[in-house]
Amino acid sequence: MNYAGALTPPESAALLTAAADAVLVDVRTLPELVYVGRVPTAAAVEWQQYPDMTINPNFIAQLRQVANPNSPTLFICRSGGRSHYAAAAAAAAADMRAFNILQGFEGDINNEGRRGQINGWRFHGLAWEQSQPVARAAG
């Protein structure tokens, strides 16, 4: 791990509250944000692009539009995988104080094949909203 750290959703929410300059970046695809839900204060910068899921070639440039390298930047995705890679890329290419949010927005899959039942941002009752327009970083 070459970024600042990995935090649980409650630890992430506490950091976002405590550090006024902290930024939350949601790296999921636009369809995920629209149909699954999103954190209202999060900036949207796709790590992978829908529908082919190729790495966003403009990720770092778009990230620099919404995050300051001197401020804590927290990354969230569905379950913590893409946000891990996004945090690593941000730390390496943009020299950011990057944090991965473990468990992600929806959390791990339970025994019935469903997310959101055992962990994740929504599971912990943290702020989120459904089907709102999403502002995307230019690029």
Percent of the chain at pLDDT > 90 equals: 89
DSSP 21: T
The pLDDT assigned to 83 comes to 98
Average pLDDT rounded to a whole number, residues 134-139: 65
Q: Does residue 64 register a pLDDT over 90?
A: yes
**Cα gap 69→43, rounded to integer Å:** 15
Q: Classify burial at 52, counting beta carbons within 10 Å of its beta carbon; exposed 0-12, middle 13-18, buried 19 or more.
A: exposed
For residues 18 and 135, the model is more confident at 18
Q: Tell me: the pLDDT tens digits for 71-112?
A: 999 999 999 999 999 999 999 998 899 999 999 999 999 999
Predicted TM-score (pTM) of the model is 0.92
Helical ranges in 42-137 per DSSP H: 59-66, 81-93
